[in-house]
Amino acid sequence: MRYLAIILLAVSVMASPAWAGVKVGEIPKEVELKGEDGGRLDGSPWSSKELKGKVHVVFYVDPDEKDLNNETSEALRLEKFPRDQYQSYAIINMDATWLPNFAISSALEDKQKKYPNAIYVKDLDKILVKEWNLADDNSDVLAFDKNGKLIFMKAGKLTPEDIKKLTGLIRENLK
């Protein structure tokens, strides 16, 4: 019995990173992307402290999965949420691909033209995978209320029902 307790304790300690990270209903741990870790396309730093004051949607994307949630991006663009109350970010998991950074940066500049209101950020060392336990090599979609609390999260392709839920949560939290 004593050995069983020790084994269960050891397993729970080893598994704890799976329980760590960002959770719906909570404000995630503060992270910053700057310098060698990444930042905005213009090289300036980005911090999760920015996820307050407005409703925010974050697309955390492996460049190889860049088109996985295009329907979601387009649905949000067509909603025309008020710019003074809503902001979207595309954070690119640059370390999740074999593609060279200069090629990804060029593609991001093209995306910026299509979605000029989105803020593009580079994560060069999987910081959000490590700190928030986001899915690696995937497309994660997260939404935050005006206080920075996570209100929606899904890894992978959003279904039409997911998109409806996301837009509804955004509308509800803009009030």
Q: What does the domain layout of the chain look like in residue ranges?
A: 23-174
Domain 23-174: assigned CATH number = 3.40.30.10
Q: Which residue has the higher pLDDT, 96 or 91?
A: 91
Instruction: Report whether pLDDT(116) > 50.
Output: yes
pLDDT in tens, 120-148: 999 999 999 999 999 998 999 999 999 99
Of 18-22, 86-90, 93-97, the range with the lowest mean pLDDT is 18-22
Q: What is the pTM of this model?
A: 0.83
Strands ordered across the beta sheet of 38-40: 38-40, 119-123, 86-93, 55-61, 139-144, 150-155
Angle at which helix 70-79 crosses helix 160-174, to 10 degrees, equals: 30
Name the residue with tokens 């005006």.
146
For residue 175, what pLDDT band results from cuts at 50, 70 and 90?
Answer: confident
pLDDT, residue 100, reads 63
Which pLDDT belongs to residue 14?
40
At residue 112 the predicted structure's pLDDT band, cuts being 50, 70 and 90, is confident
Token look-up 């929606």 returns: 152
Residue 66: what residue type?
K
* Residues 61 and 104: beta-carbon distance below 8 Å: no
pLDDT reported for residue 19: 44
Task: Report the chain's mean pLDDT, rounded to a whole number.
Answer: 85
